[in-house]
Amino acid sequence: MRSKPLTKREIAASLATLPGWAFERDALAKEFKFGSFREALGFMVRAGFEAEALDHHPDWTNVYNRVAVRLNTHDAGDKVTAKDVELARRLQQISWVG
């Protein structure tokens, strides 16, 4: 079953509750900056558990203390869905850097 893409209005409403997140190139995006590589890696491990619980896996990169996250749903044509918003919320909750 395909996930339903959110409308631009729904995405904008969701972003109002997600500090630092943006809608870029059909994805929710944010860069988290931690105090060290160890902190960034710790966040990624914890984030991995949240993603797995949702059966959703982010596109992300890590360079030293930065973790760049992009969320969209492949089975929705690489568009933003409620699943992306939920994972972004969970990432916000576990992040200690904003």
Residue 60, by phi and psi: left (phi above 0), alpha (psi -120 to 50) or beta?
beta
Domain ranges of the chain: 8-94
Instruction: Note the pLDDT tens digit of each residue in 34-71.
Output: 999 999 999 999 999 999 999 998 999 999 999 999 99
Question: Collapsing DSSP states into helix, strand and coil, what is residue 11?
Answer: helix
Beta-bridged to residue 27, according to DSSP, are 24
Instruction: Look at residue 2 and tell me whether its pLDDT is greater than 80.
Output: no
Decide: 13 and 37 in contact? Cβ < 8 Å.
no
pLDDT band at residue 1, thresholds of 50, 70 and 90? Answer: low
pLDDT band at residue 97, thresholds of 50, 70 and 90? Answer: confident
Fold of 8-94: Gyrase A; domain 2 (3.30.1360)
Q: What pLDDT is attached to residue 3?
A: 83
Tokens of 49: 């558990």
- Using a cut of 0.85, tell me whether the model's pTM lies above it: yes
